[in-house]
Amino acid sequence: MLRPIPRAVSTAIPTTNLSTRWLYARFSSSVASAQPQVIFSGIQPTGVPHLGNYLGALRQWVKLQNEAPPNATILYSIVDLHAITIRQDPVQLRQWRREMLASLLSVGLDPKRSIIFYQSDVAAHSELMWILSCYASVGYLSRMTQWKSKLALPENTSPLDPSTKTKLKLGLFSYPVLQAADILVHRATHVPVGADQSQHLEFARECANSFNHNFQHVLVPPETILSPAKRVMSLTRPHLKMSKSHEDPKSRILITDSREEISRKINSALTDSVAGVTYDPLNRPGVSNLIHIMYHLDETIADSCEALAGDCRDLSLRAFKERVIDAVDEQLKSVRIKYEELMQPNNDHLLSDISDEGSRKASANANATMSLVRGALGL
C-alpha cells in the first residue's frame, strides 16, 4: 500500500559556486532521514546544444550524476511538450529530439545511472499539469516572465491587454504549470537550474505547498541547485546570451563543432581594438566573454576570471583567441567523437532502446506519485 510522501527538507541552499560534493555531504543526514534524494531537470529539444547549454547546465548534470549518493534517483528529461508552445516543423522536431538525446549521452550522462527520457512519453506529466492548473493563480502566472520574453513584451504587460490577447496562447501562458508538474510528478527534492529559471522553481514550490495545504502532504516542494557557471554570451553580440535563436550561426559554438568550426567562430568573435587582455565585462564585453568561457571550461587553470586575464595580459588578442580555441576544442573533442558515433544509422536502435527504457522507468516513478494525487483528490 502506498503511503503519503513526507515533505522535503526546506533548508535553504546557498546559490553561489555550489559544490555538488558539499551539497550531498550537507544533506545526506537530513534528507536521508525523510526520503532519498531525487534530482530532476529538463532541456528542450532544440537540436545539438551550444556551449552555453553545456557550461550552464549539462556539465552540472554529469557532475550530479557522478557524485550523487547510490540511493539517489536522477531524472533528465527532453521536454518536447514545452517545445510546442511555439509552432514546430514535425520533421525537424523529430530530428531535434534524436539529436538532443545523442548529445546528452555524448556529454557523459549514463542511462545505467540516470533516467533519460522524452517528456511526451510519460503521460503523468500532462495529467498532473491539468490538476495543478485547476488551482494555479492566473495572477501569479501573469507575473511570470516566460510568456512575456517569448512574445517580446514589456515586463508590465498584462495578459488581459487587448493587443496581448490576440498573440498569447494558453500553452505559453501556462508553461510554468507544466514545468511545475514535470518536477513534482517525480517528487524531485533538488532541481539544477540556471539563475534565469529560479522564478519557475519558486512557482513549483508554490504549487506543491498549495496542493499540500488543501489536501494531503503528497507533493514535495523542491530545492534549487544553481549552476556555478554564469551565462555564456553571444560571440557576435556579447551583450546578449548565447542562443539558438540568434540568426548568425557564428554567434554560438555547438558542442559538436569541429576544431575548424570552433577556430572560425572564435577568430571572428567581436572583441575590441584595445591592446592586451583584461577582464572588464562592462567596457570589454567581448574579451571578457572569451575569458569567462576559457575559465569555466577548466577552473583549475586560474583562481578566477580576473586571475586568468592577468595570466594572459601580455598576449595579443589573436594569440589569446588561439588559446581559447585550444581550450574549447580540448573540452569538446571527446563529446564530438561520441556524438558522431551515436548518430550513425546503425545506432538508431540503441537510441530507441535507451529512450524506451528511460520512459518506462520515468513512467513508473511518476505513476506512483499520481496514485497518491488521485487518492488525495478523490479520483
With vertex at residue 194, the alpha carbon angle to CA 327 and CA 325, rounded to the nearest 5 degrees, is: 10
Listed residue (191, 168, 196, 195) closest to 181, CA to CA: 191
d(CA 38, CA 16): 21
Could you tell me how far CA 200 lies from the centroid of its own chain?
12
User: How distant, in Å, are the alpha carbons of 124, 159, 279, 301 from that of 309?
Assistant: 49, 46, 6, 11
Residue in 63, 150, 250, 338 annotated catalytic: 150
For the chain, how long is the longest CA-to-CA vector?
70
With vertex at residue 334, the alpha carbon angle to CA 333 and CA 337, rounded to the nearest 5 degrees, is: 90
DSSP for 209-252 reads HHHHHHS-S-S-PPEEEE-SS-PPBPSSSTTSB--TTSS-GGG-
d(CA 98, CA 198): 28
Is 150 assigned a catalytic role? yes
Is 169 assigned a catalytic role? no
92: which residues sit within 8 A by CB, 6+ positions away?
A: none
182: which residues sit within 8 A by CB, 6+ positions away?
A: 40, 42, 77, 79, 119, 125
Q: CB–CB of 165/156 below 8 Å?
A: no
Q: Identify the residue whose cell numbers are 494531503.
A: 216
Residue in 63, 230, 244, 338 annotated catalytic: 244
Strand 115-118 and strand 73-78: the pairing is parallel
Contacts for 193-197: CB closer than 8 Å, 24+ residues apart: 193/41, 193/57, 193/224, 193/225, 193/226, 193/227, 194/56, 194/57, 194/226, 194/227, 194/231, 195/15, 195/226, 195/227, 195/230, 195/231, 196/231
Listed residue (197, 207, 222, 184) closest to 145, CA to CA: 197
Give, as one character, the DSSP assignment of residue 360: H
Catalytic residues: 150, 241, 244
